[in-house]
Amino acid sequence: MFEVLPALPADPILGLSAAFKEDTNPKKIDLGVGVYKDENGNTPILESVIKAQRLLLDSETTKTYIAPQGVAGFLTGMKALLFGASHPAVTEDRITAVQTPGGTGALRLLAELIARGNPDATVWVSDPTWANHIPIFETAGLRIEKYPYFDKASRGIRFDAMMETLNSVKKNDIVLLHGCCHNPTGQDLNQTQWQAVLEAAQKTGFIPFIDVAYQGFGDGLDEDAYGIRLLSENLPEMILSASCSKNFGLYRERTGMACVVTNSNATRQSLQTQIQSVARANYSMPPSWGAAIVDIILNDEQLKALWQSEVTDMRTRMKSLRAMLVQKLKDKGASMDFDFVNSQKGMFSFLCISPEQVKKMRADSAVYFVDSSRVNIAGISQSNVDDLAEALVKIL
Ligand SMILES: Cc1ncc(COP(=O)(O)O)c(C=O)c1O
């Protein structure tokens, strides 16, 4: 029976990793997959995570299932991190939350929950958005539409066009927003723009869905939660998916959280049964290890402080890599002004060059990144920045 299913083309990002591995050029540079890397190109385990793992190894006594909603201390710690401990939805216990297999698991679970609540909902995603957003929502049976977001020509947000679309979205449609460090563009909404999004939601009745995969990588842990807190404090309902893959470096442990901020504790309680039944029909119980580590870190003052300093180090390093690349390009006389790279946030930057130029950089200089011109800033280092800048100058 299965021979009727044709082979699919390789995933553009994962396919790029495979091509990079096969390339024998000793000077090859990998700016593809969104994984944090240090100066040596490694993705080490955070010190706070190593310490928490040791504590966990010594204290774990069973491998029986954990509770269906996940590790309790993980959920409270994550809610405090994202919404703030004194947020009214937190203190009034109005947030439905379950631990999920990564941020992707959270997105998929929430997509199915939306399909249960409003099968006719359209999900509005930014143009462009993270490549996996569209298949996740479509696989759950939801319709996708795009709202204008990034303008390659001006290297900025098409805010007027974005708002024109958002102001005409139907009540109970879903508008997917990136909490911070927009993937793929690195271009985030400022506080005034978040305010305008809030007002559009109040006017039209759309439900914001904020996806947060890089909290702490933009301006700081609290600063990056500005949009989440503004919208959830001022709207009756908001959806949120969070990933611990990047800021805790727990990629392979598949650690995330799905939340719905509701208007009352009673709705929270009934929705909790719904979201858990979606999870039950998908993977039954969440995994334990990654969430148990986050629980230990967020609920221990010393480990939390250590983790916060490690997030600050990663953020500061990525900012300095942006500045270093922009300076090198200037020094080498690039015919294009790359200053905009310094104002983009987080792990990604859109270089705003054409797919043909991206392909040429790959063929001529073994620099690997996706055709959209999204680069993983963390893949840049002192040792490869000259080669990277030269390759860019050459194709411009
Ligand atoms: C915007 C965005 N959302 C969600 C995710 C999912 O992360 P996870 O690896 O935890 O599934 C990613 C990962 O790249 C992402 O960039």
Q: Whose structure tokens read 């719904």? A: 274
Please tell me the distance between residue 242's alpha carbon and the centre of ligand 1 in angstroms. 8
> In this predicted structure, what is the pLDDT of residue 15?
83
Ligand 1 atom 14: the closest Cα is on which residue? 34
- State if residue 288 touches ligand 1 by the CB under 6 angstroms criterion: no
- pLDDT for res 316: 97
Q: Would the CB of 130 count as within 6 Å of ligand 1?
A: yes
Q: What is the pLDDT of residue 333?
A: 92
Query: Which of 124, 130, 194, 307 does the annotation list as catalytic?
Result: 130
The yes-or-no answer on residue 194 being catalytic is no
- The catalytically annotated residue of 28, 37, 51, 246 is 246
Q: What angle do CA 232, 131, 188 make, to 5 degrees?
A: 45
Q: What is the pLDDT along the chain (396 residues), one digit of tens a residue?
A: 999 999 998 887 888 888 999 999 999 999 998 899 999 999 999 999 999 999 999 999 999 999 999 999 999 999 999 999 999 999 999 999 999 999 999 999 999 999 999 999 999 999 999 999 999 999 999 999 999 999 988 999 999 999 999 999 999 999 999 999 999 999 999 999 999 999 999 999 999 999 999 999 999 999 999 999 999 999 999 999 999 999 999 999 999 999 999 999 999 999 999 999 999 999 999 999 999 999 999 999 999 999 999 999 999 999 999 999 999 999 999 999 999 999 999 999 999 999 999 999 999 999 999 999 999 999 999 999 999 999 999 998
Percent of the chain whose predicted confidence (pLDDT) is above 90: 95
Q: How many CB atoms lie within 10 A of CB 240?
A: 27
Instruction: Please report the pLDDT score of residue 33 as a whole number.
Output: 87
User: What is the reported pLDDT for 322?
Assistant: 96
CA distance 204 to 167: 6
Q: 9-44+315-395 adopts what CATH topology?
A: Aspartate Aminotransferase, domain 1 (3.90.1150)
| 211 in catalytic set | yes
Predicted pLDDT at 231: 98
- How far apart (Å, rounded) are the C-alpha atoms in residues 217 and 87? 22
CATH number for the domain formed by residue range(s) 49-299: 3.40.640.10
Asked if 246 is an active-site residue, the reply is yes
Domain locations in the chain?
9-44+315-395, 49-299
CB count in 10 Å sphere of residue 194: 18
Nearest to residue 177, comparing CAs of 194, 192, 165?
Answer: 194
State which of 17, 132, 176 you would mutate to test the pocket of ligand 1, scoring each by most atoms of that ligand within 8 A of its C-beta. Answer: 132
